[in-house]
Amino acid sequence: MDRPRFRWHIVVFLAPAVLVYTAVMIFPLFNTLRLALYSKIDQERVFVGLENFQRLFLDPIWSEQFWNALGNNFWFFVVHMLVQNPIGVALAAVLSHPRLRFAALYRSAIFIPTILSFVIVGFAWKLILSPIWGIAPSMLDAVGLKALFAPWLGKEEYALTTLALISVWQYVGIPMMLIYAALLTIPEEVLEAGEIDGVTGFSAFWKIKLPLILPSIGIISILTFVGNFNAFDLIYSVQGALAGPDFSTDILGTFMYRTFFGFQLQLGDPHMGSAIASAMFAIILVGVCIYLFGIQTRMRRYQL
């Protein structure tokens, strides 16, 4: 009786991915968590335990900025959930309509911004919305609504929402594609059976399609959550590291960047920066766990 031979090929095939992933993801992640426990005192790195976190949450200079960034981050996320995902679902529903002409064209047109660089998106929108050269004021003027125009990116009360909507414009193609794919997997027979029972049009969408794509919507929500709480690029490219005006667009990513790398005369503090990065990691971890254990396991799935 032969013992089963050790299957070396599994190790060999796994090795490249594991090594690369460990080197560029796992090691930096744990090193960041470790770095958060140190501080630099008189040119030397000293272990200080949880002191950095104590400062981050209890010292008013830090905690004020932290809660401001976290609050802004939540609003950024809420806008995406309320605008990006419903629009994505609606677009997918329209696109999957069998009698729609030029569906492929619309699909690509809506998806293209997703593959653009955030620098291009940020710059283009900054120009569009510019009160001096932008086309937004003149377009509003053409329809007699000039009074509605404001320098949105420069006003504390609008800047964050404006940026969130720019981000929605850029990424709405992702939920659209995922939902579109989910809608295509719904078999015709199910819909036909519904039609025989008199469920057509809108009610077919609400009663048949939506329950079937709910798991996909769940996945999209969690992707949006992770993406938004890691966001940094668009805000940095449009508003800079100080996330103006008056920190009204400061999210955790920009706060971390500013602290870690320094800004203008502010010298970088890798240890406090790591503490903020660790807090971001914890927030995302908790959010994902709530979703995985609290929501996904309770979601009803249908065998198609």
Binding positions for another protein, rule: CB under 8 A: 43, 61-62, 126, 129-133, 137, 150-156, 239-240, 242, 244-247, 263-267, 269
Half-sphere exposure of 165 (CA within 13 A, CB side): 10
Which residue lies nearer to another protein by CB, 264 or 297? Answer: 264
Shortest gap between Cβ of 248 and another protein (angstroms)? 10
Neighbouring residues of 167: CB distance < 8 A, sequence distance ≥ 6: 76, 80, 84, 231, 234
Which residue lies nearer to another protein by CB, 153 or 251? Answer: 153
- Alpha-carbon distance of 249 to 275, in angstroms, equals 21
Which residue lies nearer to another protein by CB, 130 or 161? Answer: 130
Half-sphere exposure of 121 (CA within 13 A, CB side): 20
> CB atoms < 10 A from the CB of 150, how many?
14
| Residue reference for tokens 């690029």 | 233
Token duo for residue 298: 């309770």
Shortest gap between Cβ of 218 and another protein (angstroms)? 37
Token duo for residue 83: 């605008």
Shortest gap between Cβ of 285 and another protein (angstroms)? 27
| Residue reference for tokens 């729609």 | 100
3-class SS shares of the chain: helix, strand, coil, % to 5? 75, 5, 25
Which residue lies nearer to another protein by CB, 227 or 245? Answer: 245
Radius of gyration of the chain (CA): 24
Which residue lies nearer to another protein by CB, 174 or 256? Answer: 256
Token duo for residue 172: 């709405």
Shortest gap between Cβ of 85 and another protein (angstroms)? 28
Which residue lies nearer to another protein by CB, 155 or 207? Answer: 155
Shortest gap between Cβ of 228 and another protein (angstroms)? 23
Which residue lies nearer to another protein by CB, 146 or 301? Answer: 146
Please name the helix (run of DSSP H) or strand (run of DSSP E) that holds residue 67, with its range, or none.
Answer: helix 60-79
Shortest gap between Cβ of 131 and another protein (angstroms)? 2
Cβ pair 111, 168 in contact under 8 A: no
Shortest gap between Cβ of 249 and another protein (angstroms)? 11
